[in-house]
Structure 1
Amino acid sequence: MDRAELSDGVWERMEPHLPGKASDPGRTGRDNRLFVEAILWLARSGAHWRVLPAEYGKWNSVYQRFNRWCREGVWERLFNALADTPDWDYVLVDSTIIRAHQHSAGAPKGAQADALGRSKGGPSTKVHVVTDALGLPVRILLTGGERNDITQIEPLLDGIRTAFVLADKHVLSFVEGGYDAQRAIDAANASGAIPIIPRRTTTATRRPFDAALYKERNLIERFFSKIKHFRRIATRYDKLARNYRSFLLLVAALKWLR
């Protein structure tokens, strides 16, 4: 194959967390490494399933296996297993809007169930993320693109204990986002954290915050930039939010291995 995504060292860490091992009940998986390489090729290229190179196997067999692993939560378990040593000194919270391709519409459960909404740029999905103090992802949620960032602050921080929560303010009037509200302050306090969230310039009162620490928020912006090198992450082609999020989880898991 032209470009392998998985080095031997990376694969050694991934392999124990995937189904189909000889020690697992049922059938042994057929070459898990080649299958994961196929999924990463699709994630990197953004190509249609039908043009998957023959060296990876029959496209429909690869799709059916990927879809089955999505249903069974395999990608979620892989991500959780690899993201096992976060640096909890502080966490960073933010979101990014993903443009949805026209082929992503029409899922049976409806747009809301599949995290599709309409924002200023058209149909879109919003990816909400928490990273640790090293900029490594620890939690990923999806909503429709029109949802305000702050609506997901409680599930993002649920169960997390940290000293500081770094989050952005709402800057532009046409941007549906920002965490400068009491709801975010309360969620940060519930995690035992001090919120590092600047006030909007239109707000009369000021909230003291550590401006030097706030500069570390660039780590989560860099995380978004890196995962968008994968075209299937930068644009949503999948009808099901579950499947799109599975691509996200696999790409995010790789950040823990490099």
Structure 2
Amino acid sequence: MPRLMLSDDQYERISPFLPGKDSDPGRTAADNRLFVEAVLWIARTGSPWRDLPPDFGLWNSVYKRFARWSRAEIWHSVFAELAGDADFEEIFIDSTIVRVHQHAAGAPKKTGDQSIGRSRGGLTTKIHALVDGLGMLARFSLTGGQKSDTREALPLLGELKPSSLAADKAYDTNVILQYLESVGIQAVIPSKENRREQRPLDKHLYASRNLIERFFCRIKQFRRVATRFDKLSKRFASFVALAAAFVWLC
């Protein structure tokens, strides 16, 4: 049997959020835990679905079930439930680039934008992340790699009103700064060199921005997140949500 990732306590924590419980309508799932372990194996190793060890069941059945759960946003629901414990006293926003494998290109145009862009590194996807004061992912979004970081900052922030928001100087824009000031959020963002009036920076708070960099390192230990193999952004986002949920469980 391949190496499994979930302890009994970890699975018990997420099992109430999975479909197929006795209290749910329809057929009761008998192998939810094995199925989740199968998807975690794919996420961790980055292997093609056809290489899934037979101990997890037929690869095609596991893949189709993963696709159904992705369409139903089950993985996002599990992540959202765990992220409900986030500490929003301080938050950090940044993005990371993910290289897109050649097998991920070429999704039918009828399926819409797949968050794949062309930048200096070739085909890339950008994960925009908001982490809490403990360095745990609370919210994320996907765009093409060429898209600006600043456009995703305020949508990620949403209705949150933390005491401070820390980000690098790429987020030093008048739109972001004016919004943060209007709602009473301290902007811990270095001034760009071309800004006429250099704003004061709380260096102690800014030093904690390494939390989001450390989170990106943790989530990219899942090879299916470190490199994008999925044509559809919804499938890739499901792997990001699953990996982030596992980090919450650890």
Same-fold call, TM > 0.5? Answer: yes
Question: 1:154: Cα distance to partner?
Answer: 1.6
Residue from 207, 217, 240 that aligns with 1:225:
217
State the partner residue of 2:19.
19
State the partner residue of 1:194.
186
Establish whether residue 46 from structure 1 lines up as the match of residue 46 from structure 2: yes
Structure 1 window deviating more from structure 2 (73-82 vs 90-99): it is 73-82
Indicate if the aligned counterparts of 1:153 and 1:187 stay in contact, CA closer than 8 A.
no
Residue from 224, 228, 232 that aligns with 1:236:
228
Q: Secondary structure at the match of 1:255?
A: helix
Query: What does the per-residue CA deviation read over 1:158-204, in whole Å, with 9 as the maximum and x for residues that have no partner?
Result: 111210000011xxxxxxxx101112213433553111000123434
Structure 1 window deviating more from structure 2 (180-189 vs 97-106): it is 180-189
Structure 1 or 2: larger helix share? 2
- Give me the whole-angstrom Cα distance separating, in 1, the residues matched to 2:111 and 2:120: 17
Establish whether residue 208 from structure 1 lines up as the match of residue 217 from structure 2: no
Establish whether residue 29 from structure 1 lines up as the match of residue 21 from structure 2: no
Give the residue type in structure 2 aligned to 1:155.
P
Indicate if the aligned counterparts of 2:2 and 2:53 stay in contact, CA closer than 8 A.
no
- Give me the whole-angstrom Cα distance separating, in 2, the residues matched to 1:190 and 1:27: 51
Q: Which runs of 5+ in 2 are unaligned?
A: none
State the partner residue of 1:172.
none
Indicate if the aligned counterparts of 1:157 and 1:191 stay in contact, CA closer than 8 A.
no
Q: From the superposition, tell whether residues 72 and 111 of structure 1 become closer, same or farther in structure 2 (CA, over 3 Å).
A: closer
- Give me the whole-angstrom Cα distance separating, in 2, the residues matched to 1:192 and 1:87: 18
Indicate if the aligned counterparts of 1:10 and 1:257 stay in contact, CA closer than 8 A.
yes
Matches within 5 A, 1:16-95: 16-95=16-95
Question: 1:88: Cα distance to partner?
Answer: 1.3
Indicate if the aligned counterparts of 2:94 and 2:130 stay in contact, CA closer than 8 A.
yes
- Give me the whole-angstrom Cα distance separating, in 1, the residues matched to 2:24 and 2:178: 44
So what's the TM-score if we normalise by structure 1?
0.93
Q: Secondary structure at the match of 1:256?
A: helix
Q: From the superposition, tell whether residues 112 and 183 of structure 1 become closer, same or farther in structure 2 (CA, over 3 Å).
A: farther
Indicate if the aligned counterparts of 2:100 and 2:227 stay in contact, CA closer than 8 A.
yes
Q: Percent identity?
A: 49
- Give me the whole-angstrom Cα distance separating, in 2, the residues matched to 1:190 and 1:231: 41
So what's the TM-score if we normalise by structure 2?
0.96
Indicate if the aligned counterparts of 1:159 and 1:191 stay in contact, CA closer than 8 A.
no
Q: Secondary structure at the match of 1:252?
A: helix
CA RMSD of aligned residues (A): 1.4
Give the number of aligned pairs.
Answer: 250
- Give me the whole-angstrom Cα distance separating, in 1, the residues matched to 2:243 and 2:211: 17
Give the residue type in structure 1 aligned to 2:60.
N
Indicate if the aligned counterparts of 2:97 and 2:127 stay in contact, CA closer than 8 A.
yes
